[in-house]
Amino acid sequence: MITLNGLTKRYGDKTAVDDLSVEILPGRVTGLLGPNGAGKSTTMRMIVGHDHPTSGRALINAEPYAALRHPLREVGALLDAKALHPGRSGRHHLRVMASSNGIPWRRVDEVIGMVGLDKVAGRRTGTFSLGMSQRLGIAGALLGDPEILIFDEPVNGLDLEGVRWVRGLARSLAAEGRTVFISSHLLSEMQLTADHLVVIGKGRLIADEPIKEVVAPDSAAAVRIRSPEAEGLRALECWFRVAGRTVEKAAADALTVRGTTVEEAGDAAHELGVRLHELRGETPSLEDAYLRLTTGRAEYSASPRPSGAEAEGRTGR
């Protein structure tokens, strides 16, 4: 288990992490989300002792990381896939890690096989692609067969097969009762991977809930209805509004109706005699929930691109 108690990190007058208190429990995948500059990487670095808190504590099974006698046997972390000696081979890199924690070298070949680097393990890491470096970093995290795994953006640079592999790995590790803490900007992937979410913004905690609870406010049943009959769509729109449903124009020939079901929408279309080309329930989106939670909490926000007329006015054209 990972325990954060009032964890705070300041760099001069900049507060990167602000009084963060959460518990990352075993047996589930906990996702860490937040805008750029929210303090995600800093939080993970403090957990494994790479950065020292200004105040508060980060504990691994009730102990600070620095107190662990053989840290790789208790916690494995991938924080920066490119933090490698470019002149060492992948196998040499892992052997150095193993030797530092009393791990037999046979384990190196085991994890190389687990991450699929058998054919390139003898190559210098300076020649590795980002995806290969990510796999090597994951191998390093698995090296001591630890009970706690921390992965910061582990799917960056991976192809589709690699992304699905990381998802399956994270879920299988959690199913074994391990603590899995993972950050990612790919919200669609996080929705498929995580059981629980910790969301932070400007260093402060926004949410610490099961993923179903985070998405719940945006999860009112929604149905997409598409028809080639414009008059029929207008009749359906009217019918749903009278019934108290929320109706949005999804396209010229389509509606999205919230607060209904496929069955109710189908019955309404049948009752009104409207021919349909599509009737589909829509899955609640973590992306929508995330944007709702983090609005106004981003460290960096781009301004909308000016319209053509505004641009002309500014340039005097």
pLDDT, one tens digit per residue, over 119-150 is 999 999 999 999 999 999 999 999 999 999 99
Interval 223-234: pLDDT, tens = 999 999 999 999
- CB of 6 within 8 A of CB of 20? yes
Interval 245-278: pLDDT, tens = 889 888 899 999 988 889 999 999 999 999 999 9
CA gyration radius, the chain: 25
Work out the number of other CB atoms within 10 angstroms of the CB of residue 312: 11
Which residues is 183 bridged to in the sheet?
A: 32, 152
Q: Please give the share of the chain, as a percent, with pLDDT higher than 70.
A: 91
| Confidence tier at 220 by pLDDT (50, 70, 90) | low
Res 317 pLDDT > 80: no
Mean pLDDT throughout 163-192?
94
Residues 6 or more apart whose Cβ sits within 8 Å of residue 101: 70, 71, 72, 73, 143, 144
Q: Supply the pTM of this predicted model.
A: 0.78
Q: How far is residue 240's CA from residue 222's CA, in Å, rounded to a whole number?
A: 12
Q: Are strands 75-78 and 148-152 parallel, antiparallel or unpaired?
A: parallel
Res 73 pLDDT > 80: yes
With 0-12 / 13-18 / 19 or more C-beta atoms within 10 angstroms meaning exposed / middle / buried, residue 288 is middle
Interval 82-97: pLDDT, tens = 888 999 999 999 999 9
- CB of 167 within 8 A of CB of 180? no
Return the H-helix or E-strand segment holding 239.
helix 230-242
3-state secondary structure of 235: helix
Return the H-helix or E-strand segment holding 285.
none
Work out the number of other CB atoms within 10 angstroms of the CB of residue 25: 15
Residue type, 108: V
What domains appear along the chain, each with residue ranges and CATH number? 2-216 (3.40.50.300), 220-283 (3.30.70.600)
Work out the number of other CB atoms within 10 angstroms of the CB of residue 265: 24
